[in-house]
Amino acid sequence: MAEPSTHADPSRSDPVLDALAAAVGPIETSTFRGQTRVVIDAERSMESLRLLKEQGFDLLVDVSCVDYLEYKGAKHRYGLVYLLASTATNRRLTVRLFVDDPDPTVQSVVPLWGAANWLEREVWDLFGIRFTGHPDLRRLVMPEAFTAHPLRKDYPLQGRGERHNFPVLTRDDG
């Protein structure tokens, strides 16, 4: 696995990342099997992602999340992953940022890519990351009455009894 490097190394010059570094300050980049990854600051995520969109990343492929609870060497609890692609140059870029408890919050990117709407709803549903500015932040897959965020590592696999919280129908009811 490649070592993370600060994007100041002139031998790795990349116009897109240079522009990003120029706009928001030093960023951490790394490559793995030809794929470029960049870690941005959660506070300035909107600014950074808007810039990347202007640099040609017109397609948001996925928004996902990782819970780093008790992960070796992890400094933050949640890692958000944005997979960007450019339909013009066929280039791909993985953008990551970190947020923490107690109220993990990040700016919604729905204004930039409409595709983010359901993707962010899914992340909210399963991980409880709040996306500020999202037009309709409801649960996507779990029932509306569900209260937990089940993909968090501290949520028990078998749930907290939600799955058995239903009325029992007997023959008398039918």
- Stretches 47-55, 87-95, 110-118, 165-173: which one binds another protein (CB under 8 A)? 165-173
Residue 174 as a binder of another protein (CB under 8 A): the answer is yes
Cβ 172 to another protein, closest distance in Å?
5
Q: How far is the CB of 79 from another protein (least distance, A)?
A: 22
72 touches another protein by CB under 8 A: no
168 part of the interface to another protein, by CB under 8 A: yes
Residue 118 or residue 146: which is nearer to another protein going by CB?
A: 146
Which of 23, 61, 137, 142 is in the footprint of another protein by CB under 8 A? 142
Q: How far is CA 153 from the centre of its chain?
A: 16
SS3 144: coil
- DSSP bridge pairs for 29: 5, 38
Interatomic CA distance for residues 163 and 1, integer angstroms: 41
Give the Cα separation of 131 and 116 in Å (integer): 10
Q: Is 70 in the site for another protein (CB under 8 A)?
A: no
Residue whose CB is less far from another protein, 46 or 151: 151
Distance between CA atoms of 167 and 173, rounded to whole angstroms?
11
Q: Which is nearer to another protein, 90 or 170 (CB)?
A: 170
Give the type of residue at 45.
S
Q: Give dist(CA 24, CA 67) in Å, integer.
A: 26
- Note whether 147 binds another protein by CB under 8 A: no
Question: Which residue stretch of 41-49, 58-66, 115-123, 139-147 sits at the interface with another protein (rule: CB under 8 A)?
Answer: 139-147
Backbone angles phi, psi at 97, to 5 degrees: -150, 160
Q: Under 8 Å CB-to-CB from 52, ≥6 apart: which residues?
A: 16, 20, 84, 93, 95
Residue 156 touching another protein (CB under 8 A): yes
Query: Given the rule CB under 8 A, which residues bind another protein?
Result: 142-143, 146, 148, 150, 155-160, 162-164, 166-174
